[in-house]
Copies of this chain bind each other. A is one copy, B any other.
Amino acid sequence: MERIVVALGGNALERSGGDGSWAQAVVQMREAARGLASAVREGAELILTHGNGPQVGVLLRQNELAEREVPPRPVDVLVAESQGQIGYLIGQELEAALARERSPRTVLNFPSRMVVDAKDPAFQSPSKPVGRFYSEAEANLLRKSRGWAMSRDAARGGWRRLLPSPRPLRWLEAEAFLDWMARRKPASTVPIVAGGGGIPVLDRGQGRCEGVEAVIDKDYAAALVARTVAAPRLAILTDVPGVAVGFHRTWERWLGSVSASELREFHSRGEFSVGSMGPKVEAALEFLNAGGREALICDTTSLPRALRGQAGTRVRPG
């Protein structure tokens, strides 16, 4: 069995423009589960991770909307909640799909924390807009009273809180997880790890970690997980067919098989957007740089074909 770390996008689980209902998330995950289950049937040993952008945004909005009656919880706690929520969704749908493929497995969710550096430049310049929209007056007040960074969303007409997005440095549960991986019965379980990029914590020394209000990009976390478990392949699933140069321009061109150096060259020319394809490309390059054999970027349903070299963008070292 070939070990593959698969990163499911938070947007791949929650279609933008949908009604945001749980029923819709279930339908969408059911679709994603089919591809994952085929890959397992075809012999892949999957280690799953997932994003949580839309979901942690919803949790934060609920906290903000209800805050007159219920004290809001810090963002690291909401990330922990999103791990419980999304892990449950993936587990239910993936187990059903695996049973249909006659490859029954128990899906085990391993909520995970990631140590980040208090000196990470991301803390000086928060960049991820999250939660509800505020008026300009409210935004100014929140800046002063809570020290929040706020940014104006011109298109949607309002102000939102900005969260820092530091790099994950160390996966706290890694040793325990590797111990489990080495000893578990093969072909009986599919693990989920480092959901939502992991809960961001600062290492305060003497065994004490402290949560910090931030969100970690799941693509960087996935690359760290893939290196940790020594997976030859990393697949980053999203809602587009792969990596394109000239994305949404008349000269748009989808990349099939590509070398790391070619991809790096495109990236240095600014081909990939900062909050979206950029981190995926960087995570793929980071993974290959650390000895990975192949990085895939493809849409959720075409994973089995991408693994066979027939879909998505496939990045090779060199």
Residue A58 CB within 8 A of the other chain: yes
- Which of chain B's residues have a CB closer than 8 A to the CB of A20? 70-71
Shortest distance from the beta carbon of A235 to any chain B beta carbon, whole Å: 24
Given A99-B206, A206-B99, are A184 and B188 neighbors across the interface (CB < 8 Å)?
no
Q: Which residues of B contact A70 (CB under 8 A)?
A: 20, 58, 61-62, 65
* One of B92, B100, B180 near A211 (C-beta < 8 A): B92
Provide the bound-state CA to CA distance between A71 and B132, in Å: 14
Interface residues of A in 212-269 (CB under 8 A from B): none
A77 to B82, CA, bound (A): 10
A179-B188 in contact given A71-B21, A84-B80, A207-B98 (Cβ < 8 Å): yes
User: In whole angstroms, what is the CA distance A179 to B62 when docked?
Assistant: 39
A120 interfacial contact with B, CB 8 Å:
no
Stretch among A102-110, A151-159, A280-288, A304-312 lining the B interface: A102-110
Verify B172–A22 contact, CB threshold 8 A.
Answer: no
Please tell me if the beta carbons of B207 and A95 are within 8 angstroms of each other in the complex: yes
Report the copy number of this chain in the oligomer.
Answer: 2
Cβ of A189: which chain B residues have Cβ within 8 Å of it? 176
- Bound Cα distance from A149 to B151, whole angstroms: 43
Q: For the complex, is A74 an interface residue (Cβ under 8 Å from B)? A: yes
Chain B nearest Cβ from A143, distance in angstroms: 22
Chain B residues in 8 Å Cβ range of A61: 66, 69-70
Q: How far is the CB of A270 from chain B (nearest CB, A)?
A: 35
User: Is A144 located at the chain interface by the 8 A CB criterion?
Assistant: no
- Shortest A299–chain B CB gap in Å is 25
Identify A69's interface contact among B21, B65, B100, B210, CB under 8 A: B65
Residues in chain B near residue A146, CB distance under 8 A: none
- Contact B85 A81, beta carbon cutoff 8 Å: yes
Assess whether A175 is interfacial by the CB under 8 Å rule. yes
Q: List 26 A-B contacts (CB under 8 A).
A: A21-B71, A22-B71, A22-B73, A22-B77, A61-B66, A62-B62, A62-B63, A65-B70, A66-B66, A80-B85, A80-B88, A84-B84, A84-B85, A92-B210, A96-B207, A99-B206, A99-B208, A100-B206, A106-B172, A106-B173, A109-B111, A110-B110, A111-B111, A176-B184, A179-B188, A183-B184
Going nearest first, the 10 A-B pairs with the smallest beta carbon separation are A99-B207, A84-B84, A183-B183, A80-B88, A65-B66, A81-B81, A96-B208, A62-B66, A80-B84, A21-B71
